[in-house]
Amino acid sequence: MDREFSPEQQRSNRLRSVLKFVVPLVLVGAAVVYGAGLIAPSLDKTAIRTASVEQGAVEAVIEASGVVVPEIDRVLTSPIDARVLRILKRAGDSVSKGEAIVTLDLGASTLALEKLSDNIARKANQQAQLAATLEGRLIKLDNQIRLKRRDVTLDSIKFLQNRALFDKTYISQQELNQFDTQLQKSRDELDAFLKEYANAKASSKLEQEGVALEIASLRKDENQSRRELDQAAARAESSGILTWVVQTEGMNVGRGTMLARIADLSSYRIDASVSDIHRERLSVGLPAKVRVGETSLEGMISSVLPTIDNGVLKFTITLGGQTNAVLRPNLQADVFIQTARNGATLRVKKGAFVRGAGEQVVFVMQRSGNGNSLKAERRTVRIGLIGADTCEILSGLQAGEEIIISNMSEYQHLTSIAIK
């Protein structure tokens, strides 16, 4: 017959049964929770990039994108209304100064020039006829004046002689008046001839000046037409590379129509663009660094367009006459605009760990006590200015310390990592 257990013994037996299941579960959970901390993760040193903290200058920059374009891009236009006869050069060809690119049909313009020359000749003939007519008229008037002056002199003598006779009562008053009237008539006729002579010279001068003005205007048009004909061969004004040429022979082009575009490859500029959130920080004169592939060039903002297109601000960078064999039209470039600078500060090479100014988590390379093993310890640092290649360390690191600059986002929860 079984013996019944006391209440105390029953509670003790139940507790032991529970502990048989609970204790193993607790131990397994503890192993899971703390095991990850006990097993230290590691990284291969060849899989990470590191950089040393040093003293130096840091330049804060705005990053933008740009394209290389010739600093001087000349447009060749048609000086006349014409038809394209021949295309002598194609896009991509090199041209020298004075070399013909396109030949235009000059028939209509040549005819117009000949017509202008004929008009000038007619006007010149008209001018000569006016001069000849005036000369003949003036000669005739001069003879009439000379004869009339003689008549006035003779009539004056007759009047004086008859006046003496009148004083001696040899002739009557009526007879004396006749001589006086004849003298006044001769004088009036002389005055009329003199006025006609002066009027003839004045009117002829005005006519000749009018014709001279017409001739001058025609000659100006003739010179312009002659210059346009000289330019109608569409010659390059400077040496360079053709970036565009009219495509079709036989097509009609109007005065001012573009025939070709010539790029002067001796100097370049950068046409850059950036988000309009930086518009308050950009201004003419700010220094810039331009990176084309592995080549870096110094430049300066020369102009900022006042308009914003779809949230994009455009500006131009001059390279100060710098030339480089790597520069070619339409190459993409990285642009860094310097907006601030600290000359003497702690800095480190910029890497994936930089996510803006302020506090950042980095991993600092450390050697163990015996110096044989290497590890990376997590540390919080404060970032200041961020440049194109480096960033400023305001606190948290010392000169000479080495940090990992690779992307360590998946290890942010760890305090240290073994480096193999």
- What's the pLDDT tens digit per position in 382-420? 999 888 889 999 999 999 999 999 988 888 889 989 888
Q: How many residues does the chain have?
A: 420
pLDDT score, position 371: 65
208/312 same-domain check: no
Confidence of residue 271 (pLDDT cuts 50, 70, 90): very high
Higher confidence at residue 7 or residue 53?
53
Give the CATH number of the domain where residue 95 resides: 2.40.50.100
Q: Which of 291, 314, 289 is nearest to 300 (CA)?
A: 289
219: in domain: yes
Higher confidence at residue 30 or residue 151?
151
237: in domain: yes
14: in domain: no
Higher confidence at residue 174 or residue 113?
174
196/275 same-domain check: no
252: in domain: yes
326/370 same-domain check: yes
125/63 same-domain check: no
Asked if pLDDT for residue 233 goes beyond 70, the answer is no
Report the alpha-carbon angle 34-39-44, nearest 5: 145
398/268 same-domain check: yes
291/207 same-domain check: no
Count of Cβ atoms closer than 10 Å to residue 245 Cβ: 21
- At how many degrees (to 10) do helices 107-167 and 173-231 cross? 170
Report the range of poorest mean pLDDT among 94-108, 174-188, 242-256, 300-314.
Answer: 94-108
Cα 362 from Cα 56, distance rounded (Å): 20
400/285 same-domain check: yes
285: in domain: yes
Give the range of the structural domain holding residue 131, as residue numbers without chain letter. 107-229
Give the CATH number of the domain where residue 279 resides: 2.40.30.170
29: in domain: no
Write down which residue in 221, 256, 291 finishes a domain: 256
395/287 same-domain check: yes
191/241 same-domain check: no
What is the average pLDDT score of the chain?
A: 82
88/174 same-domain check: no
Q: How many domains does the chain have?
A: 3
319/302 same-domain check: yes
168/114 same-domain check: yes
28: in domain: no
245: in domain: yes
Q: What would the pLDDT profile of 341-374 be if each residue is shown by its tens digit? A: 888 899 999 888 888 889 989 999 988 766 678 8
Give the CATH number of the domain where residue 222 resides: 1.10.287
Confidence of residue 33 (pLDDT cuts 50, 70, 90): very low
Phi, psi at 295, each rounded to 5°: -100, 135
